[in-house]
């Protein structure tokens, strides 16, 4: 079977809130608005590549080079790389924006079970890389998706709807400054967990300066309900 990017995000690759935050934190504390080390993706302990490294002479996204960058990060974190992560189930996307080092991700759907309504996903982000703002609406096959995240390595900024965190505008990547609705910010570090305040809310995630590996626990993922805020996102 041919695995396309649309099938991947469509879920076919594998069979609340406080006054200032839409998130609930589980194993840890909230870091909203907390000062952290300056994000500088050029200062990491493995090789950093410029954006053009991930595109050929015609501007086509090079998936193999992208995957190798994630494998390099996994090796840095001493993460096992089983055969399944070497195959088609492991995917990498630039969301059609041509700015992979700013907007992109890799992932694998370990489980996406429609019958019992549960989903297991691993998210991989290079330093400073973001997942575009999006939401998961109800469909004929599934309710609006509910999500939770568990940081395994590195750390992430997570964003949801609500009262904007002071200073958040300066941390929104250029591609999303005009379209990002979710501006309530938290920092999630290794071993900490968080969930959306309610299903279907707009949200996005950005890795800190060391990249990040994040486990997602969620209800069934139906790609028909996926909506991106950026009008030019493609997959």
Give 110-161 pLDDT, tens digit per residue.
999 999 999 999 999 999 999 999 999 999 999 999 999 999 999 999 999 9
Give the pLDDT confidence score for residue 151 in this predicted structure.
Answer: 98
Is the model's pLDDT at 37 over the cut of 90?
Answer: no
Q: Is residue 92 in a domain?
A: yes
Residue 167 tokens, joined: 């200073």
Give the pLDDT confidence score for residue 2 in this predicted structure.
Answer: 46
Mean per-residue pLDDT, 82-95 = 98
- Nearest by Cα to 135 from 208, 89, 207, 197: 197
Q: Is residue 233 in a domain?
A: no
Asked whether the beta carbons of 91 and 3 are under 8 A apart, the reply is yes
Q: Cα–Cα distance between 163 and 68 in angstroms, integer? A: 38
Q: Is residue 235 in a domain?
A: no
In whole angstroms, what separates CA 142 from the centre of its chain?
Answer: 21
State the DSSP code for 21: B
Mean per-residue pLDDT, 51-74 = 97
Q: Is residue 34 in a domain?
A: yes
Is the model's pLDDT at 9 over the cut of 70?
Answer: no
In terms of residue numbers, what domain contains 129?
5-228
Q: Is residue 31 in a domain?
A: yes
Residue 134 tokens, joined: 């999006």
Q: How confident is the model at residue 33 (pLDDT cuts 50, 70, 90)?
A: very low
Is the model's pLDDT at 5 over the cut of 70?
Answer: no
Is the model's pLDDT at 16 over the cut of 50?
Answer: no
Q: Cα–Cα distance between 110 and 189 in angstroms, integer? A: 22
Q: Is residue 234 in a domain?
A: no
Mean per-residue pLDDT, 71-88 = 97
Q: Is residue 198 in a domain?
A: yes
Give the pLDDT confidence score for residue 86 in this predicted structure.
Answer: 97
Residue 8 phi/psi, 5-degree rounding, is: -60, -55
Q: Is residue 40 in a domain?
A: yes
CATH number of the domain residue 88 falls in = 2.60.120.10
- The total number of structural domains in the chain stands at 1
Is the model's pLDDT at 55 over the cut of 60?
Answer: yes
């Amino acid at each position: 079977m041919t695995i396309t990017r649309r099938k991947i995000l469509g879920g076919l690759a594998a069979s609340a809130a406080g006054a200032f935050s839409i998130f609930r934190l589980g194993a840890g504390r909230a870091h909203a608005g907390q000062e952290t080390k300056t994000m500088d993706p050029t200062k990491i302990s493995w090789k950093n590549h410029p954006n053009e490294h991930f595109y050929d002479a015609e501007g086509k996204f090079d998936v193999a080079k992208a995957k190798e960058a994630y494998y390099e990060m996994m090796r840095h974190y001493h993460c096992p790389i089983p055969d399944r992560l070497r195959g088609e189930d492991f995917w990498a996307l630039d969301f059609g924006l041509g700015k992979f080092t700013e907007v992109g991700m890799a992932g694998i759907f370990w489980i996406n079970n429609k019958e019992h309504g549960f989903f297991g996903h691993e998210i991989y982000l290079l330093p400073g890389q973001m997942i575009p703002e999006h939401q998961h609406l109800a469909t004929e096959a599934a309710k609006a998706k509910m999500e939770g995240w568990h940081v395994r390595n590195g750390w992430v900024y997570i964003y949801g709807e609500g009262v904007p965190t002071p200073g958040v505008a300066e941390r929104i990547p250029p591609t999303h400054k005009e379209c990002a609705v979710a501006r309530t910010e938290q920092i999630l570090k290794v071993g900490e967990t968080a969930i959306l305040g309610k299903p279907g809310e707009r949200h996005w995630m950005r890795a800190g300066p060391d990249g990040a590996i994040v486990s997602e626990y969620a209800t069934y993922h139906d790609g028909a309900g996926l909506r991106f805020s950026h009008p030019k996102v493609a997959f």
